[in-house]
Structure 1
Amino acid sequence: MDLLKTVFGIDISSWKSNVCIMVNGQKVNDYAISNDMVGFNQLLGDLKQVTNPQIIFEATGVYSRRLQAFLDMHELRYVMM
């Protein structure tokens, strides 16, 4: 049985974030979300479709704090670089 490794790489800027989804090293989707509850809930919908998603984003000070708080609230593990 092959296990799929799904990575959500998120590039955060002031008003939006770009999300890139990779499965076993292959890009399968990318899109932009707003840095608010609407955008974060869109991301959450995709995260819930995956078993053990790996979430990676850059610490961008004030811009990444909202995403970090949202992920913490939903008890999702992430790597902040």
Structure 2
Amino acid sequence: MDSLKTVFGIDVSSRKSNVCIMVNGQKVNDYAISNDMVGFNQLLDGLKQVTNPQIIFEATGVYSRRLQA
């Protein structure tokens, strides 16, 4: 059986980030998070539900540093 490839693509902006989740190339969910601990914890909860997720986001300088940390 092939394993599922899950990708979290994140579009980072100043106040929020848009998250798109794809499984084997098919979009399964999308939502926005705030760029603070509340939003980052929401993202972390989603990541914990997946085995070996890939995370892709743009480097937007000051806006993406908190997400990266």
TM bracket, shorter-chain basis: over 0.9
Structure 2: unaligned runs, 5 residues or longer? none
- Distance in 2 (CA, whole Å) between partners of 1:25 and 1:61 is 28
TM-score by length of 1: 0.84
Structure 1 runs of 4+ with >6 Å offset: none
Count, aligned residues = 69
Measure, in 2, the Cα distance between the counterparts of 1:46 and 1:65: 20
Unaligned stretches of 5+ residues in structure 1: 70-81
Instruction: Report which structure shows greater RCO (CA 8 Å, sep ≥6).
Output: 2
SS at match of 2:30: strand
The secondary structure found in structure 2 opposite 1:20 is: strand
* 3-state SS in 1 of match to 2:52: coil
In structure 2, what is the Cα distance between the partners aligned to 1:6 and 1:24?
6
- Identical counterparts, % of pairs: 93
Aligned partners of 1:22, 1:59: CA distance in 2, in Å? 20
In structure 1, what is the Cα distance between the partners aligned to 2:40 and 2:61? 17
Q: 1:44: which partner in 2?
A: 44
Counterparts of residues 1-81 of structure 1 (less than 5 Å): 1-69=1-69
